[in-house]
């Protein structure tokens, strides 16, 4: 426990020194236990080439209540099929969220695979070629996914990239030093280059 307090204190000290020019009002909102976030820090979208993707997924009407459980069901159905799963659990949306509630979004829940596609009852296999993605981490509630998606689309348009209609939410777990897993998610829109 003392170690965590020391780390928080050190982070606070570094932030205070780094932001000395911002004035006292900004620093007064920070406390040694307030986390490692500054008021107006904005993360820029990351552009990356994702190449080709083979996605095995199960349909879901609306955002699934437990996406990771559905991904586990997909993994279970893949055993013995010759397809090898890899990467993050994926929620794949066919259309932009518009103003609909998450319960109205049609999506596929699954995982990326390698190997020759074979027919598996209850699952669909789709290939996507030449993917380039703009992505952002998402740490808010599900209802805010539409805002993150909109921000990515606006960024792509400001760079003059045409945006493909489908988009992705990747669900990952990052192992912390204490052995616990921190859930991490990121939203990606796909563009044509």
Compute and round to an integer the Cα radius of gyration of the chain. Answer: 20
Arithmetic mean of pLDDT, 5-19:
36
| Of 16 and 59, the one with more pLDDT | 59
What token pair was written down for 14?
């570094």
The class (CATH top level) of 46-191 is alpha beta
Range with lowest mean pLDDT among 10-14, 69-73, 173-177: 10-14
Q: Which pLDDT score, from 0 to 100, does residue 2 have?
A: 42
* Residue 20 main-chain phi, psi, to 5 deg: -55, -35
What token pair was written down for 120?
């598996």
Arithmetic mean of pLDDT, 105-116:
93
Range with lowest mean pLDDT among 7-21, 64-78, 89-103, 164-178: 7-21
pLDDT tens per residue across span 143-163: 899 999 999 999 999 999 999
Torsion over CA: 66, 67, 68, 71 (sign): positive
Q: Which pLDDT score, from 0 to 100, does residue 190 have?
A: 95
Q: Which of 160, 166, 158 is nearest to 188 (CA)?
A: 166
Task: Judge if pTM exceeds 0.75.
Answer: no
Q: Which pLDDT score, from 0 to 100, does residue 30 have?
A: 32
Q: Where are the domains of the chain?
A: 1-41, 46-191
Contact criterion met (CB below 8 Å) for 54 and 112 = yes
**How far lies 7's CA from each of 13, 29, 39, 179, in Å?**
10, 18, 20, 18
Contact criterion met (CB below 8 Å) for 63 and 142 = yes
Residue 26's H or E segment, with its range, is helix 24-28
Contact criterion met (CB below 8 Å) for 158 and 150 = no
Helix ranges, the chain (H): 2-18, 24-28, 67-78, 145-158
Residue with tokens 């996914």: 145
């Amino acid at each position: 426990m003392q170690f965590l307090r020391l780390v928080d204190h050190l982070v606070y000290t570094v932030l205070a020194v780094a932001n000395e020019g911002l004035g006292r009002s900004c620093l007064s909102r920070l406390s040694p236990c307030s986390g490692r976030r500054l008021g107006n820090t904005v993360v820029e979208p990351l552009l990356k080439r994702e190449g080709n993707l083979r996605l095995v997924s199960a349909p879901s009407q609306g955002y699934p209540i437990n996406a990771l459980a559905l991904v586990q069901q997909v993994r279970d159905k893949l055993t013995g099929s010759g397809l090898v799963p890899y990467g993050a659990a994926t929620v794949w949306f066919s259309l932009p969220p518009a103003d609909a509630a998450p319960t109205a979004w049609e999506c596929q829940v699954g995982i990326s695979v390698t190997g020759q596609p074979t027919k598996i009852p209850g699952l669909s296999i789709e290939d996507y070629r030449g993917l380039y993605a703009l992505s952002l981490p998402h740490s808010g509630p599900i209802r805010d996914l539409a805002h993150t998606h909109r921000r990515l689309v606006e960024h792509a348009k400001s760079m003059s990239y045409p945006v493909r209609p489908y988009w992705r939410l990747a669900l990952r777990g990052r192992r912390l030093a204490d052995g616990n897993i921190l859930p991490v998610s990121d939203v990606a829109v796909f563009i044509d280059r």
